[in-house]
């Protein structure tokens, strides 16, 4: 160290590194994809660990900047061995991404995740399934490689339905199945950018449900949004003998009839927000419980959206009314028929004071002679246009705030069904985490679809580690009857991992010549987290198991 003091930034990365080691992620990858020890460099497991640390570093460092990210980090503490930042370069990372793809990212990730939930003591009896898209810049058509079952092609980077509101850009889709208690991703699969969820979800059931069922002795429950509720999806559920909870698409005839009768029917209050009505339906060859819910809070939000939509529709209808008044008719009957059709197709506006005007037409040009008879008459409508406010109110009353949940678990109460479905927010929260601007989503500058597919696995590993840290912190705080201060200083037992990470910023390792290494910046609230997590986490921050050894 050339006789001068050196400071390395440890921050929250000690927590991340310790959880990676606890879940055996690095060793699992090295066991499945052995690294040739005769070659210089780091193993694939070590490089994956480096990418996860980078991804959870919250400094938005792209993949090619990974060496720069590790320049000021305590490598021995994080990796448990001699590793230099220069070894974690873009060539080495690229080769690792290629190796992950060649092995099969979905297969490798599933082995890692199943081991992780076992270590965490989670036996998932219910799982959530959903998908999201990531947009990419650049052209990728030259990389659309064909393949077969033995040598599958990489994902197609093409335009499709954009959840990111970037329909002009190519994209790739990520499908996840997550455990519903901690939000741990159990399965990930990359897919073409133009994936249709309703077509893919049943194939995911076929491919992964059996392995998920094997993780728990109880009957598995699959929770998903309306994309699951198709005849093919329900058939797959029936064949796999699992339970399901899904939102019923509003476009179904049976759903429309149920919602249309709701305002005149009797709904039972569930709490201050929800009311419900319960129905038994035979749909898709399966006896199901359909519960129609009305949410007061959602109704208020949806009413604003509906009012805006109806206003746009009524404005367009008013333009069509002006066009109708410019249209000539050759007989009164045609004019009356056209007005009747207009009324039926445009219920949001009401023509009033209708007058049918007859205009004489002559064969000759110029002003007609006083005694010249017209060759025929053209008829034109004149009327006033008014908005149908009652229609606005009726539509709002009929449509806003209603949704239907379906399940083949006939024992679930309306409250239990609603609570179970709300766990779908965990997988949606995971997608928000992956798309955070502070995260590795900008790593999608990669040009090879194979590496993009592998990078989706790295991103999902980051989510796994993040969710595992949060789950363990919350579990141990409750188990040991301890608390951690939230953003307002209030003691809580359910802090987010993101907040804990922020609290660990400004913890450093200090190196002074001829002096043992010191960890500075560790305070009492940090020790609460370290102590509940255990000795491996304490040691990362220079804390003795039975006492303090870090410097404040």
- Predicted pLDDT at 38: 64
- Higher pLDDT: 62 or 349? It is 349
pLDDT value at residue 137 = 58
Q: Above 90 in pLDDT, residue 164?
A: no
User: How confident is the model at residue 207, as a pLDDT?
Assistant: 76
Domains of the chain plus CATH, in order, are 6-103+464-540 (no CATH), 107-295+404-441 (3.90.350.10), 300-396 (no CATH)
Mean pLDDT is lowest, of 171-180, 286-295, 321-330, for: 171-180
Q: How many CA atoms lie within 13 A of 502 on its CB side?
A: 8
> Is it the case that residue 445 has pLDDT exceeding 70?
no
* Across 69-96, average pLDDT: 92
Angle between helix 90-103 and 449-479 (nearest 10): 90
pLDDT value at 301 more than 90: no
**What was the pLDDT predicted at 214?**
76
Is 396 a residue whose pLDDT tops 60? no
Residue 49: predicted pLDDT? 96
Hunting for tokens 């797959």 — which residue is that?
236
Per-residue pLDDT tens for 256-266? 888 888 765 67
Q: What is the pLDDT of residue 294?
A: 87
pLDDT, tens digit, 9 for 90 and up, residues 510-535: 988 878 889 999 999 999 999 999 99
* Structure confidence at residue 45 (pLDDT): 96
Is the pLDDT at 204 greater than 50? The verdict is yes
Q: Lowest mean pLDDT: which of 80-84, 163-167, 249-253, 269-273? A: 163-167
Q: C-alpha angle 143/145/150, rounded to 5°?
A: 145
pTM recorded for the entire structure = 0.79
Check whether 312 has a pLDDT greater than 60.
yes
- What average pLDDT does the structure give for the chain? 84
110, 187 in Cβ contact below 8 A? yes
Q: Select from 267, 246, 153, 131 the least CA-distant residue to 199.
A: 131
Mean pLDDT of 237-243: 89
């Amino acid at each position: 160290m050339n006789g001068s003091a050196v400071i390395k930034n440890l921050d929250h990365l000690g927590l991340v590194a310790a959880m990676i080691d606890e879940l055996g992620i690095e060793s699992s990858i090295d066991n499945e994809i052995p690294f040739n020890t005769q070659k210089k460099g780091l193993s694939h497991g070590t490089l994956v660990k480096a990418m996860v640390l980078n991804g959870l570093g919250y400094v938005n460092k792209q993949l090619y900047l990974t060496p720069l990210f590790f320049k000021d980090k305590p490598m021995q503490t994080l990796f448990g061995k001699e590793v230099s930042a220069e070894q974690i370069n873009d060539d080495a990372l690229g080769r690792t991404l290629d190796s992950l793809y060649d092995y099969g990212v979905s297969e490798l990730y599933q082995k890692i995740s199943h081991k992780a939930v076992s270590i965490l003591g989670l036996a998932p009896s219910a799982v959530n399934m959903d998908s999201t898209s990531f947009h990419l810049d650049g052209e990728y058509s030259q990389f659309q490689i064909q393949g077969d079952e033995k040598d599958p092609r990489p994902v197609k980077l093409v335009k499709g339905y954009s959840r990111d509101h970037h329909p002009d850009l190519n994209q790739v889709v990520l499908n996840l199945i997550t455990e519903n208690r901690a939000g741990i991703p159990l399965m990930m699969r990359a897919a073409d950018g133009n994936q249709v969820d309703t077509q893919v979800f049943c194939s995911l059931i076929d491919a992964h449900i059996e392995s998920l069922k094997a993780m728990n002795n109880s009957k598995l429950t699959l929770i998903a949004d309306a994309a699951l509720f198709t005849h093919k999806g329900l058939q797959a559920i029936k064949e796999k003998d699992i339970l399901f909870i899904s939102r019923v698409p509003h476009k179904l005839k049976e759903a429309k009839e149920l919602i249309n009768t709701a305002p005149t029917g009797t709904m039972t209050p569930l709490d201050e927000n929800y009311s419900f009505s319960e129905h038994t339906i035979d749909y898709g060859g399966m006896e199901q419980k359909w519960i129609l819910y009305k949410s007061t809070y959602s109704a208020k939000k949806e009413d604003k959206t509906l009012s805006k939509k109806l206003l746009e529709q009524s404005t367009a209808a008013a333009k069509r009314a002006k066009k109708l008044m410019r249209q000539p008719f050759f007989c009164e009957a045609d004019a009356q028929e056209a007005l009747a059709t207009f009324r039926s197709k445009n219920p949001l506006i009401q023509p009033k004071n209708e007058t049918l005007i007859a205009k004489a037409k002559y064969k000759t040009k110029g002003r007609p002679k006083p005694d010249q008879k017209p060759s025929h008459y053209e008829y034109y409508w004149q009327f006033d246009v008014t908005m149908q406010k009652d229609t606005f109110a009726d539509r709002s009353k009929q449509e806003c705030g209603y949704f239907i949940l379906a399940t083949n678990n006939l024992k679930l109460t309306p409250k239990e069904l609603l609570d179970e479905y709300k766990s779908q927010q965990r997988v949606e929260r995971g997608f928000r985490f992956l798309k955070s601007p502070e995260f590795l989503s900008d790593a999608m500058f990669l040009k090879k679809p194979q590496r993009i597919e592998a990078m989706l696995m790295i991103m999902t590993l980051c989510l796994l580690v993040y969710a595992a840290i949060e789950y363990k912190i919350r579990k141990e705080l409750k188990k040991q009857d301890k608390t951690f201060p939230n953003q307002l200083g209030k003691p809580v037992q359910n802090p987010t991992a993101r907040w804990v990470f922020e609290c660990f910023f400004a913890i450093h390792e200090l190196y002074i010549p001829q002096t043992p290494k010191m960890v500075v910046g560790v305070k009492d609230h940090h020790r609460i987290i370290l102590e509940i997590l255990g000795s491996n986490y304490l040691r990362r921050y220079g804390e003795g198991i039975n006492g303090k050894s870090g410097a404040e």
